[in-house]
Structure 1
Amino acid sequence: MNVRRHRAVELALTLYVSRLDSDHECMVRSLREAIENRLNTDQTYALEVIDVSTKPESAREHIVYATPTLVKISPAPERRIVGDLNNCREILEEWMLVEEQ
């Protein structure tokens, strides 16, 4: 996991998808690129991708009703985006600006 050294804060995200296909793989690449462009070089992150078609218990446990769902686990507070992630850069900016205040 990546840690902000100056604040000791992790950025941990989980992306829930149904049936990991080429569209979802493209979404994951775009999301990783957006995260890496936003973070400083001394910051790290973890992005876990869970296919709910193969792990439905994970969706139930984490109360995921629709896919795709992106969950920011840490830093707190937990935040969720459900549905279209085409604007993932803007989402990350908003989440990270809120945490820096």
Structure 2
Amino acid sequence: MSGGAIPGGGAGGRTRLRLYVAGTSPRSTRSIESVRRLCEHRLGGACDLEVVDIYQQSALAGADGVVAAPTLVRLSPLPARRIAGDLSDERRVLDGLGLDELGLDGLDLLPADPEAASREALGGGAGEH
């Protein structure tokens, strides 16, 4: 994954994604972390991610039809698909981008709250610390 352009992306069956964010806001940071986690853990690393700041590259955002941030665009495999808004729900992102159609729907998804999963794995329930 990279923060720059993806030369020849999509080769070898890799999924090519472009994440549009608005500056370095906390929402942008959370979106980047969520999508990177999705790429690494749910897509088995077979994913190229390009992060684009719409403030710095507004022409690229316009070319991809992006009018809001965060927006995640699946560039390949074609057809291109996009999803905007909260990207922390991995099932919603997989469904929205059609990645479940690519045979990835059998993957175990990470919970939206990794700390809750840690508590559950250690035998503690909600409200226990």
Equivalences for 1:67-78 in 2 at 5 Å? 67-78=69-80
Q: Which runs of 5+ in 2 are unaligned?
A: 2-8, 105-129
Quote the Cα distance in structure 2 between the aligned partners of 1:25 and 1:33: 12
Larger relative CO (CA 8 A, sep 6+): 1 or 2?
1
Quote the Cα distance in structure 2 between the aligned partners of 1:97 and 1:64: 23
Count of aligned pairs: 95
**TM-score scaled to structure 1, two decimals?**
0.77
2:91 maps to 90
Quote the Cα distance in structure 1 between the aligned partners of 2:70 and 2:54: 10
Identity value in percent: 32
Structure number having the greater strand percentage = 1
Aligned-CA RMSD value: 2.4
Do the aligned partners of 1:15 and 1:71 also contact (CA within 8 Å) in 2? yes
Indicate the SS of the match to 1:90: helix
What is the CA-CA distance between 1:44 and the residue it aligns to? 2.0
1:100 maps to 103
